[in-house]
Amino acid sequence: MNRIFEQTKLAFDLPKDIIYLDGNSLGPMCHASRTRLMDEMDNQWSKKLIGGWNESGWYQLSQTVGDKIAALIGADKGSVSAVDSTSINLYKALHAALGLNSERRVILSDKSNFPTDLYVAQGIIKQLNQHADKPFILKIVEAKELISAIDKNVAVVMVTQVDYATGRLLPIADIIAKACLQGTKTIVDLCHSAGALEVNLTALGVDFAIGCGYKYFNGGPGAPAFIYVKPSLLDKIEPVLSGWMGHASPFDFDLQYRPADSINKMRVGTPSILGLASLDAALDVWQGVSLKQLRARSIELSELFIKEINQHTSELELASPVNAQMRGSQVSFCFEQGYALVQALIAQGVVGDFRMPNIVRFGITPLYIDEADILQAVQKIALVLEQRLWDQAQFKVRSAVT
């Protein structure tokens, strides 16, 4: 198994003397993405101009990439489209899900959900309540209360599988099962799952899923996101954003909108071809890699990281679950001066990140991280803590802000 990941590590263009433990925020660049982008600019766009839409496969690229992602999240071919941003896709999915349960008025989520997802729901509710006879509400509960809170009043339960801050895994299978019993539609945010865990949307029975292309899929900053719709629902939903790319016959230029009868109905406008091309190339790194192997390797490296941290320092308090089966592919710690600590680590060549109020996060991504990286990172973390190097870093950060 290690040989597989020795090969995948070579696929990435990583800076020398940097241990990159932030792939859960932004994946590094693949050599294949650079090659593909140069080809798109030098041989496709520059030479074929508008002809690239047909001759270079640009028009089909959202579906081409969507099908590659589908294979990595346990979805049927033709049920995923790579389009827009995660937030826009959530907006589309939430509207569609509410339309399927039009007599209900509750959107259910939890306090640990990514704030943007909650903002999108709040915005939709504000719009809908301008004309609703009975107001819509967003009910936010503790994560441990989610399952018990799903009842016949809940139209949609909207969750993120992996807690962005702590890496805690939600019991998605149990949540989906309870939702099915209550006739509640489900939306799962896979931003911290896709490319990090074994996910099988078909087996789980998820109604809608969304996710990004720039974290574990390594598509680049702002890479196109993706949206999944359960195939049996495609002919039952109406797109809230009715753009020309979602039209049944976009090149007829019909003055009346008719939605496509496929996942294409979730498309809106012209996609970013360069963004899709970079993501398309980056996804090829998964050839020959199973998510089962990846997950096993992620746990192995995460356990090593936690063990070494505990042996070198007692100052970092584990914020992630102790049980590896309850974590995503990241390890988080609590530390009072977390932001300054992260800045000091970056100065030492270890890139992690910080989340309010005191969470220090480290992404464990086996495609390009190995044991040597883990051991070296822990040594540098111990050095920064021992020598209190974050004091100087904190001063610099405050000076820059003010």
Residue 236 CA to residue 227 CA, distance in Å, equals: 16
Is residue 388 part of the annotated active site? The answer reads no
Told to judge if 139 belongs to the known catalytic residues of this protein, a careful annotator would answer no
Report the DSSP beta bridge partners of residue 209. 188, 228
Specify the CATH architecture of the domain 59-286.
3-Layer(aba) Sandwich (3.40)
pLDDT of residue 390: 75
Q: Which residues does residue 141 pair with via DSSP β-bridges, in sequence order?
A: 110
Each residue's pLDDT tens digit, 317-340: 999 999 999 999 999 999 999 999
For the CA atoms of 81, 259, 235, 68, the dihedral, rounded to the nearest 10 degrees, stands at -10
Q: 166: helix, coil or strand?
A: coil
Six token digits for residue 322: 């102790």
- Share of residues in the chain with pLDDT > 70 (%): 97
- Residue 251 appears among annotated catalytic residues: no
In this structure, the strands spanning 350-351 and 226-229 are unpaired
Whether the predicted model's global pTM rises above the 0.75 cut: yes
Which is catalytic among the residues 104, 168, 297, 361? 361
Task: Determine which one of 20, 214, 305, 335 is catalytic.
Answer: 214
Burial class (CB in 10 A: 0-12, 13-18, 19+), 23: buried
Range 10-35 average pLDDT: 97
* Per-residue confidence (pLDDT) for residue 398, from 0 to 100: 46
Same topology, domains 2-29+290-401 and 59-286? Answer is: no
pLDDT digits (tens, 9 = 90+) for 233-254: 999 999 999 999 999 999 999 9
DSSP assigned state of 170: P
> Angle formed by the axes of helices 273-283 and 31-39, to 10°?
140
361 is catalytic: yes
Q: What is the mean pLDDT of residues 364-372?
A: 97
Pick the CATH number of 2-29+290-401 from 3.40.50.1980, 3.40.640.10, 3.10.450.50, 3.90.1150.10: 3.90.1150.10
Q: Which of 215, 265, 295, 297 is catalytic?
A: 215
Annotated catalytic, 395? Answer: no
Give yes or no for residue 391 having a pLDDT over 80: no
121 close to 94: Cβ distance less than 8 angstroms: yes
pLDDT of residue 394: 54
User: Would you state the pLDDT for residue 400?
Assistant: 40
Q: Mean pLDDT in the chain? A: 95
CA-angle at 22, arms to 294 and 197, nearest 5°? 25
Residues recorded for the chain: 402
Active-site residue identified among 5, 91, 114, 305? 114
Q: Catalogue the E-assigned strands of 22-136.
A: 80-82, 106-110
CA distance 37 to 24: 23
> Does residue 397 register a pLDDT over 90?
no
DSSP 288-320: T--HHHHHHHHHHHHHHHHHHHHHH-SSPEE-S
pLDDT at 401: 38
Catalytic residue of the set 22, 67, 84, 189? 189
CA 307 to chain CA centroid, nearest Å: 27
Give me the residue spans of the domains in the chain. Answer: 2-29+290-401, 59-286
